[in-house]
Structure 1
Amino acid sequence: MGDLRLHLGPLQNCYSGPAFFPLLTTKVEGFEGCLDYVFYWCGDRDYLVREALLDVPYTSESMIPNEKHPSDHYPVGVIFRLYRSTSHGGGGSVAAEK
């Protein structure tokens, strides 16, 4: 998946890269694949760092929803840490202000 660009700038996919990309987020009759994403944007002065990702289960279940997964999508989620720049000029060191 290429860069998704808005007026803010390029968005990053939290689950990007082969180690993170979920094999599937939905498994319904006629289709199984990844439909769900978490995108984020790093501004000029504040920085988001991906701390942890919710594991997307890969199971041999025939289809979802079912008794174990009541939705037709497996959940995706991420925990971020926000760092604020100590420089007000836009390109300085990054401090761990949360």
Structure 2
Amino acid sequence: MINIRKERPEDERRVEEIAREAFWSLYFPGCHEHYAIHQLRKHEDYLRELSWVIEMDGDLAGGIFFSKSKIVGRGVRRYVSEEEKRSAAESTRV
């Protein structure tokens, strides 16, 4: 049976192990995907409420993770969220 549910703190290590096993030496010797997931969870742009895991017959089989993102580049206007606009407006108030 397949079950999709929110990730819990006790799932984190196993999810990272699954990512390591899935990507190990797939494109080059070793892999970095499990470490990227680990670091993502510490970042301010990580959206914990959108982290899901997949269970197959009660065992963790994978996960999906999301973070906020920004587009920056030469000649490209940076997207500013409504939250950033409010924060900037509050910091300039006298």
Tell me, yes or no, whether TM beats 0.5.
no
* Larger relative contact order, structure 1 or 2 (CA cutoff 8 Å, min sep 6): 2
User: What TM-score does the superposition give when structure 1 sets the normalisation length?
Assistant: 0.29
- Is the strand fraction higher in 1 or 2? 1
Q: TM-score w.r.t. structure 2 length?
A: 0.29
